[in-house]
Amino acid sequence: MSLPDDYLEYPWRQYGNDHNRYDWSMLTDRPQVRWPNGKRLAVWVNVSVEFYPLNQRGIPFKVPNGMTMPYPDLRHYSLRDYGNRVGIFRFLKAFERYNITPTYALNGQVAERYPSLMRRLADTGAELLAHGWNMDHLHYGGQDKTEETEQIKRTLDTLRKHSGQSIEGWLSPAKNQSDNTPDLLTAEGIRYCCDWVNDDMPYRFRTDHGDLMMMPLPTELEDQFIIGNNLHSEDSWVQQVKDAFDFLMEESATQGGRMLGLNIHPWMMGQPHRIGCLEEVLEYITGHEAVWQAGSGEILSAFQAQAGSGSEGPL
């Protein structure tokens, strides 16, 4: 038994990356970033507002947190839907109490199914991001390009029409992409994307229609990942967020402004026994004087406005 000869050929073996989407750059080699008013740590809280269809197709894979039982899986359908009708309102109260300006990443279908919820969120003045059509419409390698184009257009058209917002940010369901996704996003006027988890700061990503900015939203700090996937307790999630916050804050003292992206889900942290843990995190974050709490679009603008941040050229 043997492999074909080209298995030992390495066409992209070169300095930097094995692709041309962005340039290789270590975080510590870049110019230091300064946030407005001398703040050191920008904290972005994103709420993913999701619709998990009961008739999940699972193409090309079953989305994490989706249906797991034979059809009709009312158990997981209704547990996720809980977030949209109950959990999200506990979030809204907590944000008001701690004066948080979050962003909301909405599945396009949420705007269609629950227009009053979308209006309620938009009326807070928060920025809305697109989060794909629904949690069973993944973007994936090998996906038909026409189909993906339609999926992205439908999502953005729906959200833009119903919200009146320009919708400049994108978060793919399960952060999954095809080779075409970044190009299709910029073609539809998307300015930044939150799918790639390869940096702690924004960076520039090349597409066929100009550059896309990539915003850091670490999966490994998400509630659904720590509590749902890793089965750590909600108290451990609090500790992990605080530790990340403290570390980045400390690093910012010598390395310039840092940011922390925190992605949360109302069906997870909006449960009665978990909401107190979210409140504890929000209290901790807002209790520090060197924090700049803002939405992703605003943080990105501050980043891009700086000469020398590297944002004017490829990083």
User: Which is it for strands 212-214 and 192-193: parallel, antiparallel or unpaired?
Assistant: parallel
CB of 263 to another protein, least distance (A): 20
Residues that bind another protein (CB under 8 A): 53-55, 69-75, 77-79, 81-82, 84-86, 88-90, 92, 113-114, 116-117, 120, 231, 233, 235, 271-276
CB of 276 to another protein, least distance (A): 6
Nearer to another protein (CB atom), residue 57 or residue 145: 57
Nearer to another protein (CB atom), residue 218 or residue 276: 276
CB of 291 to another protein, least distance (A): 26
Nearer to another protein (CB atom), residue 224 or residue 309: 224
Nearer to another protein (CB atom), residue 170 or residue 267: 267
CB of 134 to another protein, least distance (A): 9
Nearest to 91 by CA among 231, 274, 236: 274
- The whole-angstrom separation of Cα 12 and Cα 73 is 45
Phi, psi of 18 (to 5 degrees): -95, 30
CB of 52 to another protein, least distance (A): 10
- The whole-angstrom separation of Cα 212 and Cα 202 is 10
Nearer to another protein (CB atom), residue 94 or residue 300: 94
